[in-house]
Amino acid sequence: MKKIPPKYLLGFAVVFAASQFARPSRIPAAASGPGDLFVKYPPATEVSRLLAAACLDCHSASTRYPWYAEVQPVGWWLSGHIRNGRTALNFSALASLPASAITHQLDACVDAVNHGEMPPTSYRLLHADARLGDTEKVQLTSWFQDLADKISTGSGKK
């Protein structure tokens, strides 16, 4: 293995140290309001637990930031991820969308979980409780599916 010249190591150390001062802005946790899907349609305890363990850090206003979010560039990488996740899907605001948009998102959730796309691999590596077993996937996807059915029936279209 080739040795890394000390001046590169020093350069890296300086950039790393300096980057600790440039913090990404945390995306504020909004109090859950009427747009919160889980306030409007409260899931059973077990489903709530699975959602919190596997989805809500990126798809709701209640992100739990891990200690390593304080370490740059990890913090930047995380906030980019969270921003993208919330843009794609935000359970804390979902209930204020039209019924068709809600059911569309819920269907996408069923697919994402069934295909193993969500939660993302990098997240599963870091969070043991986000590695969903088959039974847990069924519990979660059934809740998404049942709610989608209930909403689309309720809105008079099917």
Chain residues that interact with ligand HEC, rule: CB under 6 A: 54-55, 57-59, 81, 84-85, 88-89, 108-109, 112-113, 118-120, 123
Closer of 8 and 135 to ligand HEC (Cβ): 135
Closer of 2 and 66 to ligand HEC (Cβ): 66
Closer of 84 and 153 to ligand HEC (Cβ): 84
Exposure of 31 in the CB half-sphere (CA atoms within 13 A) = 1
> How many angstroms separate the CA atoms of 50 and 140, rounded?
7
> How many angstroms separate the CA atoms of 108 and 74, rounded?
28
Least distance from C-beta 12 to ligand HEC, angstroms? Answer: 27
Closer of 75 and 119 to ligand HEC (Cβ): 119
> How many angstroms separate the CA atoms of 44 and 40, rounded?
13
Least distance from C-beta 75 to ligand HEC, angstroms? Answer: 14
- Our CA angle for 109, 92, 147, nearest 5°, is 45
- Residues with Cβ within 8 Å of residue 10, at least 6 apart in sequence: none
Least distance from C-beta 19 to ligand HEC, angstroms? Answer: 22
Least distance from C-beta 146 to ligand HEC, angstroms? Answer: 14
Question: Which two structure tokens, joined as six digits, stand for 59?
Answer: 């798809």
